[in-house]
Every structure is written in C-alpha cells, then in structure tokens.
Amino acid sequence: MSRLVATMALGALGFAALFVERDANANPMDLAPERLTQPCAPNPVPCGAAQVNAAGTGFDTNYYRADNDAWAKLMSTYAMAMAPTAMHPARTTGYGGFELSLFGTFTTIDKNERYITRGTEGPITDGKKFSSSNGSPDSMLQIYGVSGRKGLPYGFELQGSVGYMANTELVILGGGIRLAPFEGFRKLFDVSVGGYVHTLTGTSKVKITVPSFDVQVSRRFPIANQVVFQPYVGWQMVWINADSGVIDTTPDRDGLGDCNARPATAAERAAGDTGEFHCQNKTGGAISGDAIGSPAKLDLNNNVVFRNMRAYRRQRALFGLSWRWENLSVVLPHVAMELADPESGAPDDAAKARIKGLAKQWTFGAMVGLAW
C-alpha cells in the first residue's frame, strides 16, 4: 500500500506540472471568440474598415459584428465539458471519511462545425502567430484533474476539484455538497442529492459558470469480504451561464498605435470639438482620408461584446461502476449521456434559435484514488 501511496503522490505532482506556463504551440483548443464574427454585408468598404464617404464629410464603415449564434454554441459546448461530473456512487465517504483522487473526462464535440474551427486557436504558423482557423481540432475536450471528498455527520459530504483542459490554458475550479439520507441501511438502496458549481479560469475573454443538481442511486455488492462493487445511476440538470469580455476582432492590428493619438487642440475645442482624440502621422501632422479610411482610430471600434447566456438548461443521465479494495478506490467506467436536444433547455425562443442544431454531447470518465 505504501507503494500505491507513492504512485498517487507522483501522479499528483505530475498533474501539478501541467499548470506550469507552456508555449503557445500547446494550446490549439484555447478559445478564440474574436473570430466569431458575422459575414460582412455587401459593401465597397473592406471588412472591419472604414473609408471617406463620397461627400468627404465623414466615413462609411463596415465594422465586424458579433456572431451570437456561434458564440452561444461554442460556450455551450465548452460548458458541458467542464460541468460537474458526479463521478461517484450515491454513498458518501462516511463520517470522518476522506477520498483523494485523480480523474479524467472526455466530452464529445462537433469538431467540424464552424464555431469550433473558427472559435478555437489552432496551430501556430511560421510567423509565430495563430492561424485564422483550426483545421484539425480535437474530437473530444479532455479534462484531467484532482478531486477530494470529505464526509460529514448526518450523511453530508463536501467535494472540491481542480482540473486542466488539455491543449488549452484553461483551468476549471469547482466544489459542492451532497446528502445521502438513507446511507447505511442494508435493505435500502443508497440515494443522494447534490449541488455543485464549476467555473472557468485562465482567460479574460470569457467567463463560464456551470451550476448543477443531481440525484443518484447506487447499491453495494461486497465480494469475498475484500472488494466492494457499487454500480450507480443518476440524473443531472446543468445550468450554463456565460459572459463575454470586450473582444478585439482585429487583434493583429494596433489601432491605438497606428493612430498616434493626440488630444484636441484649443482651436478645435473652441470650434465645438467634443474632445475625442485625433489621429496624426508620425511627424505630428493630421492624417487625411485615403481609400481604406486612414483615421486608424476607427479600428478601435472593431470591438464586440457577445450576448450573455443565462440559465441554459441541459439534462444528462449518469451511470457507472465504482469499486474499492482496501484503500484503493476506482470509478470505471463513468458515462454522462445527454437526454434532450440542447435547444429544448434554452430560456426563451431567441435563445433556442441561437443554439438550434447543436448536437447532444456524451462524457466518458474514469477516476482512481485513495480513500480512508
């Protein structure tokens, strides 16, 4: 058993090493919402640009606009991958009990959909920049992490976890509590109800928070007084909440630097200038119009904020097998199967339209740990 403890410790150290800063080559599945823009309307002005109008009195613009449908689908897909797993039987660790485990989950995605190929970073090009799309995204979103469960009196149990999403810089933090009111009755099945919250860190572009509620039923089957098997089934409701940061849709262009901004002069203010900064060339002279709209400050308007998501509900059936030998605790397999079309849980008709056609997702998982 001491060798097993050492192996678990080494595994935890290896997992911790994942949080060391990595080269960008390792992050093709990082989120890239700046690419989720609507196709430009027919316009003589280039996409994302502006040009002097025919009268010479202003500018015609063709700024990038947020594609809220693609955004909602991308956020829903990632949220289901990071949702609480409920990867355990209904029985808790017991009063005074504790369990520390390593886990891995694998969640299916539609890798060929535009919101995935455009909404994730993809490989690095020869110019040391990300490509304009991800031509070969992962077929599953993988999360590896550490979780702990601590038993409390009266059938309560606390749980916490931290996970890393493979091929990204994203980290998932979570915790929750559950209650098993009939725990210990020989002739009754174990039943538990639990609530958990997971949140995403590692990016300033988006905020995703995923609360969940689940009900589970399991049964203990001792074998030869040495191994205990516990098959379990359950139901889970997940709520998806996502918010957008201010997204620069032209991150490869320094609009402020190109502008070489200066404040309005006294004469300009006296003439009714609003005080907005003005662009100038590198020698300090005013910039005049050209074919692509030279006032570079106009590029600063190529920022978008996507529509937030609130209480998008998705339901899953849970089933798996837990077994324990002495202090070794294993869950294999664990499966979470989505029960209804994702759009059915959207809060209103407009939200349903945004995620219409989004496929159901499956999550497969496994866990190994030590229990006392």
Q: How many whole angstroms separate alpha carbon 143 and alpha carbon 18?
A: 11
Nearest Cα to 190, choosing from 325, 93, 83? Answer: 93
Q: Is the pLDDT of residue 260 over 70?
A: no
Q: What is the mean pLDDT of residues 341-346?
A: 97
Are 276 and 264 a contacting pair, CB within 8 Å? yes
Strands 171-179 and 190-201: antiparallel
When pLDDT is averaged across residues 87-104 and rounded to a whole number, the result is: 96
C-alpha span between 296 and 273 (Å, rounded)? 18
> Is the previous residue joined to 333 through a cis bond, with omega within 30 degrees of 0?
yes
Q: What is the pLDDT of residues 53-85, one digit of tens each?
A: 777 777 778 889 999 999 999 999 999 999 999
Residues above pLDDT 90, as percent of the chain: 65
Q: Which two tokens stand for residue 296?
A: 């570079």
Which region among 186-200, 220-234, 258-272, 275-289 has the lowest average model confidence (pLDDT)?
A: 275-289
**Contact predicate 161/148, CB 8 Å:** yes
Question: How would you class 75 by CB atoms within 10 Å of its CB: exposed for 0-12, middle for 13-18, buried for 19 or more?
Answer: buried
CATH architecture, domain defined by 2-33+69-246+305-371 = Beta Barrel (2.40)
Where in the chain are the domains?
2-33+69-246+305-371, 250-301
Instruction: State how far Cα 308 lies from the chain centre.
Output: 14
Helix (H) or strand (E) holding 2: helix 2-17
- Tell me how far apart the alpha carbons of residues 302 and 290 are, in angstroms, rounded to a whole number: 19
Instruction: Give the Å distances, CA to CA, from 227 to 8, 11, 144.
Output: 20, 24, 26
Chain segment 9-20, per-residue pLDDT in tens: 444 444 444 444
Residue pair 214/234 in contact (Cβ under 8 Å)? The answer is yes
Residue carrying structure tokens 């469960």:
149
Decide: 168 and 18 in contact? Cβ < 8 Å. no
Terminal Cα distance for the chain, rounded: 12
- As a whole number of angstroms, the distance between CA 153 and CA 284 comes to 73
